Copies of this chain bind each other. A is one copy, B any other.
Amino acid sequence: MSDKDGFKVTPWAVEGEIDYDKLVQEFGTQLINDELLARIKRHTGDLHSMLKLKYFFSHRDFDWILDKYEKGEEFYLYTGRGPSGSIHLGHLMPWIFTKYLQDKFDAKLLFQITDDEKFLYHDSMSMDEISQHAYENILDIIAVGFDPEKTKILIDTKHIKHLYPIAIEIAKRITFSTVKAVFGFQNSTNIGMISFPAIQAAPCFLPSKIEGRQTPCLIPAAIDQDPYWRVTRDIAEKMGYYKPAQIHSKFLPGLGTRGKMSSSQPETAIFTTDDPELVEQKISNSFTGGQPTEELQRKLGANADICPVFWYLRYMFEEEKSSNERYVKCKSGGLLCHECKHDLIGPAKSYMIEFKRKREQAKNLVDKFIFED
């Protein structure tokens, strides 16, 4: 969306300090409220910390998905990955949450690899390079632990024959004016990028084709992808499909300056391929919400709200209660940054070592996860 509020969120750039409440207003989505959380909990038994802590904070029609689920209608999950680089924790978090939804609702999942879009978007990236990223990223996806019986990975250029007939139905209903307004495309935009929204929208309706009946679809993804679903929702019913529902996450803060964890600034992100020593080093060098000196910190307290170390611990490795205590202690000057970093380094290293092990195992599972042609 526009950067008139000092931040910018589009599928291709997330910049500035994001006011998520404003974003929800601008995008026209709904905040996840306590009533919805309580309703989710009735089905899941427990609430994932990413829900409790409002990392997943916004939605469109999640309540409708529950209506359908409560009537015994199965829904599909659909999410995706643009394979332009390595996977870092910021990418993993929505996938970990997606696995939670799959487990709790016994839902099938379509995972789209948008290699075509990355090729169309990046001037200098070759298709070979992107295919290599796609393979590596698929290992990460599998390592998250999705159910191989219920999860199918679609690679756009490989599985285009399943997407294209739906994509042209979609494309027929979207004009240049619309994608210009929604995605900011211009006359100088290439025609591949211009029509790509139809390819990203197609998996929303693939479940209905697979199942042979209208099938609800829920998309867990970071909120920067929302423009795609807005356009898709506008045309879904005209095409005889349900509107796809969404549940939106925030962005994981980077270890460097403010903004989302980003592959283009490798020192600010913890990658699944980083050695444990590098994970330790990156956390040790991380930006925090601390004061310039220990004396000042003891006196004024630090700012946990802007501190990536605090948020990593909270979202990934700490119970809500301990995290709340850490927050109070930090604010009041009772904690120094190196202590929090130390608390994060241990579990982060363990997590990444275990993840790398699963990632190795994933090499034998790729065929099982790939959508049947």
A352-364 vs B, CB cutoff 8 Å, 1 = contact: the mask equals: 0000000000000
Candidates B161, B190, B194, B198; contact of A160 at CB < 8 Å: B161
Task: Determine the residue in chain B with the shortest Cβ distance to A122.
Answer: B172
A105 at interface, CB cutoff 8 A: no
Interface residue A218 (Cβ < 8 Å from any Cβ of B): no
Chain A residues bordering chain B, tally (CB within 8 A): 36
* Residues of chain B lying within 8 A (CB to CB) of residue A168: 116, 119-120, 157, 192
Q: From residue 192 to 242 of chain A, which have CB atoms closer than 8 A to chain B?
A: 192-195, 197-198
- Do the beta carbons of A176 and B157 come within 8 Å of each other? no
Asked whether any CB of chain B lies closer than 8 Å to the CB of A173, the reply is yes
A164, B120: Cα distance in complex, Å: 12
Say if the beta carbon of A158 comes within 8 Å of chain B: yes
A199 to chain B, nearest CB (A): 9
- What are 26 A-B residue pairs whose CB atoms fall within 8 Å in the complex? A120-B168, A120-B171, A120-B172, A127-B165, A127-B169, A160-B160, A160-B161, A160-B164, A161-B161, A164-B164, A167-B192, A168-B192, A171-B190, A173-B190, A174-B191, A175-B187, A175-B190, A175-B191, A176-B185, A176-B186, A176-B194, A177-B188, A191-B197, A192-B195, A192-B198, A194-B195
A177 to B157, CA, bound (A): 26
CA of A194 to CA of B192, assembled, Å: 9
Tell me whether A177 and B173 are in contact (CB under 8 A).
Answer: no
Q: Kindly state whether residue A180 has any CB partner on chain B within 8 Å.
A: yes
A116 contacts which chain B residues (CB < 8 A)?
Answer: 164, 168
A179, chain B: closest CB distance, angstroms: 6
| A158 partner, pick from B157, B161, B198, beta carbons under 8 A | B161
Kindly state the separation between the CA atoms of A138 and B194 in the bound complex, as whole angstroms: 32
Question: CA A164 – CA B127 in complex, angstroms?
Answer: 12
- The reply to whether the CB of A189 lies closer than 8 angstroms to some CB of chain B is yes
For the complex formed, measure the closest distance between the CB of A182 and the CB atoms of chain B, giving whole angstroms: 11
Min distance, Cβ A132 to any Cβ of chain B, angstroms: 15
Contact, CB under 8 Å: A119 / B172: yes
Once bound together, how far apart are the Cα atoms of A169 and B173, in whole Å? 24
- Nearest-Cβ distance from residue A230 to partner chain B, whole angstroms: 15
Q: How far is the CB of A201 from chain B (nearest CB, A)?
A: 11
Would you call A180 and B171 a contact (CB within 8 A)? no
Q: Which of A92-128 contact B (CB under 8 A)?
A: 116, 119-120, 127
- Determine which residue in A159, A187, A191 has the highest number of CB atoms from chain B within 10 A of its CB, and name it: A191
Across the interface, which residues of B come within 8 angstroms of A193, CB to CB? 171
Contacts of A127 in B (CB 8 A): 165, 169
**A-B pairs with the 10 shortest C-beta distances?**
A171-B192, A195-B195, A191-B195, A177-B187, A160-B164, A176-B187, A171-B191, A161-B161, A174-B191, A116-B168
Which of these, B119, B173, B189, contacts A176 with CB under 8 Å?
B189
Q: Mark A141-167, 1 if CB is under 8 A from B, else 0.
A: 000000000000000011111001101
The CA-CA distance from A254 to B124 in the complex, in Å, is: 50
Nearest B-chain residue to A171, judged by Cβ: B192
Cβ of B165 and Cβ of A179 under 8 Å apart? no
Please, which residues of chain B bring their CB within 8 A of the CB of A169?
119, 127
Q: How far is B193's CA from A273's CA once the two chains are assembled, in angstroms? A: 42
